[in-house]
Structure 1
Amino acid sequence: MTLPIVRLAEEQRLSGATVANGFVFLAGQVADDDSLDAEGQTADILAQIDALLAEAGVDKRSLLQIQIVLADIADAALMNKAWDAWLDPAHKPARMTIQAPLVNPKWKVEITGVALAKA
């Protein structure tokens, strides 16, 4: 038996998100405007996540887990400023933040995660 998989925001090498078996899996999201600082890039990414979740029929309250990659851990305070402004404090997902090199040296933040899909 093959379970249905819905692919959202498909690009050449990936889908922005996939919906399967009751979950929404977000690809690593990066800022459309890589000239922004870490706070601006984070806000840009979170808006993209909002749009992908809306396309999947849910919102940020459905997020179960988030992984944040910072090119420079010194940007954590700026990233957290945008995160805190966006976060619904009554529906905080589990979260991990690490430092690692990103593919484009202008990217300061990349965010991925998993949400519960609409039943």
Structure 2
Amino acid sequence: MSIQRSGTNKRLSKLVVHRGLAYLAGQVADDLNGSLESQTRETLAKIDALLTEAGTDKTRILSAQIWLADMAEAAKMNAVWESWMPEGHAPARATVGAPLASSRHLVEIKVVAAVD
């Protein structure tokens, strides 16, 4: 079985596809001046693009891991997530509070999706 990698550098690949699954590395916003909501929207748009590259979409996400710099802000992130995720397609998901790579990063999201 082949392994497809995209956005690869010495540290990571942004996308790995193998045996019908697309694994995305943790995605963060590029614009770190925005609010949690704007960073979440940008991060989800990056996820959409990577899923499209893999030949799948958000309705095929099996699991999601979300890290928030401040769990007190979870409701704001959830509102953006819920408007993005189509009804009836919610994946298994975990959300935790954690220090992120930069104090300006407010959210990081990693997903695994089915590819058929």
TM-score range, shorter chain: over 0.9
TM-superposition CA deviations, 1:71-110 (whole Å, max 9, x none)? 1101101111210110111211111000010011100000
| CA deviation after TM superposition for structure 1 residue 9, in Å | 2.3
Q: Which amino acid aligns with 1:67?
A: Q
Identity of aligned residues (%): 48
Match of 1:110? 108
Match of 2:59? 61
Distance 1:102 1:116 in 2: 27
Distance 1:7 1:42 in 2: 24
Q: Which amino acid aligns with 1:57?
A: G
Query: Counterparts in 2 of 1:5-84, with a 5 A limit?
Result: 5-84=3-82
Match of 1:89? 87
Distance 2:68 2:18 in 1: 28
CA contact (8 A) 1:26 1:114 kept: yes
| CA deviation after TM superposition for structure 1 residue 12, in Å | 4.6
Specify which structure has the higher proportion of strand: 1
CA contact (8 A) 1:39 1:80 kept: no
SS in 2 for 1:15: coil
Q: Which amino acid aligns with 2:72?
A: A
Distance 2:29 2:13 in 1: 16
Q: Which TM-score applies when normalising by structure 1?
A: 0.93
Q: Which amino acid aligns with 1:105?
A: S
Distance 2:2 2:74 in 1: 38
Q: What count of residue pairs does the alignment treat as equivalent?
A: 116
Q: Which amino acid aligns with 1:63?
A: I
CA contact (8 A) 1:30 1:109 kept: yes
Q: CA RMSD in A?
A: 1.0
Which aligned segments of 4 or more residues in structure 1 are displaced greater than 3 angstroms? none
Distance 1:29 1:92 in 2: 18
